[in-house]
Amino acid sequence: MNAPAPPSALPAFPSAATTLLLPGPAGMLELACAVPEAGLARAGIAIICHPHPLQGGTMTNKVVTTLERSLLDLGLATVRFNFRGVGQSEGEHDHGIGETDDLVAIAEWARTQRPGATLWLAGFSFGSYVALRGTARLQPAQLILVAPPVGRQDFSGIAAPACPWLIVQGEADEVVDPAAVYAWVATVQPPPTLIRMPDTSHFFHRRLIDLRNAVKDAVAGNLPPPAA
Query: For the segment 25-34, what is each residue's pLDDT rounded down to a tens digit?
Result: 999 999 999 9
- Over range 211-228, report the average pLDDT: 96
Query: For the segment 126-180, what is each residue's pLDDT rounded down to a tens digit?
Result: 999 999 999 999 999 999 999 999 999 999 989 999 999 999 999 999 999 999 9
At a CB cut-off of 8 Å and minimum separation 6, what does 217 contact? Answer: none
Whether the pLDDT of residue 49 is over 80: the answer is: yes
Q: Which residues are paired to 166 by β-bridges?
A: 144, 193
Query: Residue 8: what pLDDT?
Result: 59
Q: 22: closest CA among 105, 111, 112, 130?
A: 105
Query: Residue 141: what pLDDT?
Result: 98
Burial 60-70 (b: 16+ CB within 10 A, else e): ebebbbbbbbb
Query: For the segment 50-77, what is each residue's pLDDT rounded down to a tens digit?
Result: 999 999 999 999 999 999 999 999 999 9
Fold of 15-219: Rossmann fold (3.40.50)
Whether the pLDDT of residue 1 is over 60: the answer is: no
- Domain ranges for the chain, please list them: 15-219
pLDDT category of residue 2 using cuts at 50, 70 and 90: low
At position 29, the amino acid (one-letter code) is L
Whether the pLDDT of residue 6 is over 80: the answer is: no
